Amino acid sequence: MILTVTLNASVDKLYLVDRMEPGTVMRVKRVVNTAGGKGLNVSRVASAAGEQVLATGFIGGFAGEYIRAMLARDGIQARFVQTDGETRSCVNVADLSTGKHTEFLEPGAQVSAAKQEEFLEDYRTLLPGCSVAVLSGSLPGGVAPDFYGRLIALAKEQGKKVILDTSGEALKRGIAFHPDLIKPNADEIRQLVRLPDGSTESLARAASQLYRSGIGTVVVSLGKKGSLAAGKEGVFLSDTPYVEVVNTVGCGDSMVAGFAVGFSRGYSFAETLRFGVAASAANAATLATGSVRPEDLKRLRPLVNIRRLGDS
């Protein structure tokens, strides 16, 4: 079982418009609503890959009920702490004329100290039934930046693998607790390590440096250019298999889901990387954010090329 933590859940709304023109009225051609927040993207992809998933975090109000219903429909178990505030919505406008996406992310309601304590109590009791905990996304208002650190420490105390995928201060504080895997993108790694330039060599050095600081595996995702991974077996470069791209939002979350599945099934380092890359590319081939077709996963897995660059 994979436990996913989504502290800042949202109803994600993908709007398809013919042309994005600020300052005008735009008719939406099609709407796709999904249970969002990065952890719920991870949940759907891991579930589509065939794993049992238990989703936890905070949700509230009518939007929270809508999220529960969407998760139930997708066969994902939910054990959320109910908050007093309404769960947020995030809007992703896709301009069909350019293929560009513009995202509007609401900040999310504040979470009280009492609700945070309730969550910590639940989290401790949910861990024993799971092999991997995945901590994804931003922190809602009222939650201290070291919160993920506490969740990592609790998971490690129980001998569970833990993946952290967040940004900024939450990531900075979280890595001090040595998660088993982090997956910053190019912007996020720049928030952690000063880079002389954007070259593959500099990014590989940065990933190695973070690995040596005590993180199990550091994967830096580079969009369609692929990804770098630094772990105990060395530094590796993976390309992305070709897919007909429809929507790349959530590719990183899908990659994290693939890694969580690899951990949960006890895959080797190389197989885990391969599965993560295949899941990330499979997401790019579907319209809904954080969704993969099992047949794409199967087809793409053997097409992933992984090259060893050197020692970490």
Ligand X SMILES: Nc1ncnc2c1ncn2[C@@H]1O[C@H](COP(=O)(O)OP(=O)(O)OP(=O)(O)O)[C@@H](O)[C@H]1O
Residue numbers at the binding site for ligand X (CB under 6 A): 185, 221-224, 226-227, 240, 243, 245, 248-253, 255, 277, 280-281, 284
Q: Are 55 and 79 in contact (CB under 8 A)?
A: yes
Judged by CB under 5 A, does residue 184 bind Mg ion? no
Which of ligand X, Mg ion, none interacts with 273 (beta carbon under 5 to 8 A by kind)?
none
Residue 108 tokens read as 């999310």
DSSP labels, 41-65: HHHHHHHHTT--EEEEEEEEHHHHH
For Mg ion, the closer of residues 231 and 252 by Cβ is 252
The string of DSSP codes covering 73-139 is: HTT-EEEEEEESSPPEEEEEEEETTT--EEEEE-------HHHHHHHHHHHHHHGGG-SEEEEESPP
Can residue 252 be called a binding residue for Mg ion (CB under 5 A)?
Answer: yes
- Catalytic one of 12, 146, 180, 253: 253
Label residue 7 left, alpha or beta by phi (over 0 means left) and psi (-120 to 50 means alpha): alpha
CB of 260 to ligand X, least distance (A): 14
| Partner interacting with residue 221 (select from ligand X, Mg ion, none; CB below 5-8 Å by kind) | ligand X
Q: How far is the CB of 279 from Mg ion (least distance, A)?
A: 13
Residue 208 or 240: which CB sits closer to ligand X? 240
φ/ψ (deg, to 5) at 4:
-110, 140
Instruction: Identify the DSSP state of 140.
Output: P
Quote the DSSP letter at residue 185. Answer: B
**Residue 281 Cβ vs ligand X, minimum distance, rounded to whole Å:** 4
Kind plus residue range of the DSSP H or E element containing 198: none
- What separation in angstroms does the CA of 224 have from each of 162, 206, 239, 240, 248? 26, 20, 8, 6, 9
Taking the complex as a whole, the smallest distance from the CB of residue 84 to Mg ion amounts, in Å, to: 29
Which one of ligand X, Mg ion, none is in contact with 222 (Cβ closer than 5 to 8 A by kind)?
ligand X
Number of residues that bind Mg ion (CB under 5 A): 1
The yes or no reply on residue 258 touching Mg ion (CB under 5 A) is: no
Q: Which stretch binds Mg ion (CB under 5 A): 82-90, 125-133, 244-252, 292-300?
A: 244-252
In the complex with ligand X, the residue whose CB is nearer, 227 or 264, is: 227
- Which one, of 162, 198, 158, lies nearest residue 178 by Cα? 162
Residue 180 is a catalytic residue? no
In angstroms, give the least distance from the CB of 257 to ligand X.
10
Alpha-carbon distance of 69 to 237, in angstroms, equals 39
Distance from C-alpha of 230 to C-alpha of 273, rounded to nearest angstrom: 11
Name the residue with the smallest CB distance to ligand X.
Answer: 252
Which partner, ligand X, Mg ion, none, binds residue 181 by CB below 5 to 8 Å per kind? Answer: none
Q: Which does 284 bind (CB under 5 to 8 A by kind): Mg ion, ligand X, none?
A: ligand X
Q: Which residues are catalytic?
A: 253
Contact residues for Mg ion (CB under 5 A)?
A: 252
